[in-house]
């Protein structure tokens, strides 16, 4: 749902201009230093990127799902590190508080997340609980006015920069599945919370992940999201439905960037006295990429509009995430192929994007997890 087409157009144009003039020229620096420059972060805060999805009452822009994915189409066209830093504040690092938090929790944290004063992080995955998130082992034991948390979380995005963590922990060990899981807000610096070393990843330099370790970490009971035990997994799933549409849109943006770079290269690179864009086999790769991008974009926009209408889009979100991220991987492969040997060296952005986009098929639920969600949804629907 687009609330005001003129305002949305101006917003998209502003983001597009910022990406072209500020972010793309700094991509190489981020790749070499594994850091987003402080002056770039300051500009991202100034134009409101940390609060795109948070309600206006908390200092955000309050964009709808359709408006958000349209902006994500733009954000995906530069280094994923930039989007990753703001992504948790607009998604999994803040949405749990917004959707299920108490009024006090919302007032305490959402304005600071919207401004970028705080970076949010979402701590669900564990060494033995990735795709099977309901089997997590981190525990939270009530002790008077506090809970004592113990356990380890793995591959936690933005953990090194985070000011707060949304943490999923088991409050009822007698329930083995999702029903015993609760969600907590844990502030950075809380005694008993420590971080592992920053992971060295295949790609996405500048977007940091690491272990988050809880050792007798004492968290106020007031930081139990919604002041309700046993509903944390439901909170996580609601957050992930939205996040999957966002990641799908980012993957589409990255695919657009790679196709644009491949097209420019093909039109300028000559072989046998002709630009390689004249050759039909190269044209086939360009055409296949454009077709798949178009299909993915239509899918994501449709699912976003349905979510804005209040419909359950669990299946649609998984379809969109699955198709868009797999599509992005195929476009990346074709883009490298079109570049030939040049696509395998770091002089061209496609080499970096080829590595960066591989992660899209893993986080927020692997492609195989999306297949399971889609199939189970179909089976449930057929059984009713």
**DSSP element (H, E) containing 143:** strand 139-143
Rounded Cα distance between 155 and 92, Å, is 14
- Its pTM stands at 0.94
Rounded Cα distance between 116 and 121, Å, is 13
CATH class of 234-381: mainly alpha
Please say if the pLDDT value at position 109 is more than 70: yes
Q: Looking at domain 120-230, which CATH architecture does it have?
A: Beta Barrel (2.40)
Residue of higher predicted confidence among 349 and 233: 349
Determine the pLDDT at residue 3.
84
Please say if the pLDDT value at position 131 is more than 80: no
Share of the chain above pLDDT 70, in %: 100
pLDDT band at residue 384 using 50, 70 and 90 as cut-offs: low
Determine the pLDDT at residue 122.
94
In this predicted model, what pLDDT tens digit does every residue of 138-193 receive, in sequence order? 999 999 999 999 999 999 999 999 999 999 999 998 888 888 999 999 999 999 99
Task: Record the tokens describing residue 154, joined without a space.
Answer: 């793995």
Catalytic residue among 68, 74, 351, 364: 364
In this predicted model, what pLDDT tens digit does every residue of 137-146 receive, in sequence order? 999 999 999 9
364 is catalytic: yes
Rounded Cα distance between 12 and 181, Å, is 39
Q: Looking at domain 5-115, which CATH architecture does it have?
A: Orthogonal Bundle (1.10)
In this predicted model, what pLDDT tens digit does every residue of 28-86 receive, in sequence order? 999 999 999 999 999 999 999 999 999 999 999 999 999 999 999 999 999 999 999 99
Residue ranges of domains in the chain:
5-115, 120-230, 234-381
Q: Which residue has the tokens 């000559």?
A: 270
Rounded Cα distance between 286 and 264, Å, is 11
pLDDT band at residue 284 using 50, 70 and 90 as cut-offs: very high
């Amino acid at each position: 749902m687009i609330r005001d087409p003129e305002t949305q157009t101006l917003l998209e144009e502003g983001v597009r201009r910022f990406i072209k003039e500020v972010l793309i020229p700094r991509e190489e620096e981020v790749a070499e230093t594994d850091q987003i420059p402080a002056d770039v972060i300051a500009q991202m805060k100034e134009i409101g990127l940390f609060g795109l999805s948070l309600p206006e009452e908390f200092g955000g822009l309050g964009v709808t799902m359709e408006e958000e994915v349209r902006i994500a189409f733009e954000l995906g066209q530069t280094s994923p590190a930039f989007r990753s830093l703001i992504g948790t504040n607009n998604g999994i690092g803040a949405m749990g508080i917004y959707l299920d938090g108490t009024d006090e929790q919302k007032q305490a944290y959402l304005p600071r997340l919207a401004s970028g004063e705080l970076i949010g992080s979402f701590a669900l995955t564990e060494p033995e609980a990735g795709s099977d998130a309901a089997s997590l082992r981190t525990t939270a034991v009530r002790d008077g006015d506090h809970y004592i948390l113990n356990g380890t979380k793995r591959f936690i995005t933005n953990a090194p920069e985070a000011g707060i963590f949304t943490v999923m922990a088991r409050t009822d060990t007698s329930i083995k599945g999702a029903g015993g899981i609760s969600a907590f807000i844990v502030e950075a610096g809380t005694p008993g919370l420590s971080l592992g070393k920053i992971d060295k990843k295949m790609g996405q330099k500048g977007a940091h992940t690491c272990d988050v370790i809880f050792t007798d970490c004492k968290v106020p009971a007031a930081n139990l999201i919604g002041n309700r035990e046993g509903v944390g997994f439901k909170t996580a799933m609601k957050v992930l439905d939205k996040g999957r549409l966002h990641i799908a849109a980012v993957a589409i943006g990255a695919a657009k960037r790679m196709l644009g770079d491949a097209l420019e290269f093909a039109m300028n690179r000559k072989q046998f006295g002709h630009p390689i864009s004249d050759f039909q086999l190269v044209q086939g790769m360009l055409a296949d990429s454009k077709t798949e991008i178009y299909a993915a974009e239509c899918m994501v926009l449709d699912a976003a509009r349905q979510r804005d209408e209040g419909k359950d889009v669990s299946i649609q979100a998984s379809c969109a995430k699955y198709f868009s991220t797999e599509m992005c991987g195929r476009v990346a492969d074709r883009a490298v192929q079109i570049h030939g040997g040049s696509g395998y060296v770091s002089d061209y952005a496609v080499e970096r994007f080829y590595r960066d986009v591989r992660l899209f098929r893993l986080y927020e639920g692997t492609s195989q997890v999306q297949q399971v969600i889609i199939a189970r949804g179909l089976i449930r629907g057929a059984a009713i």
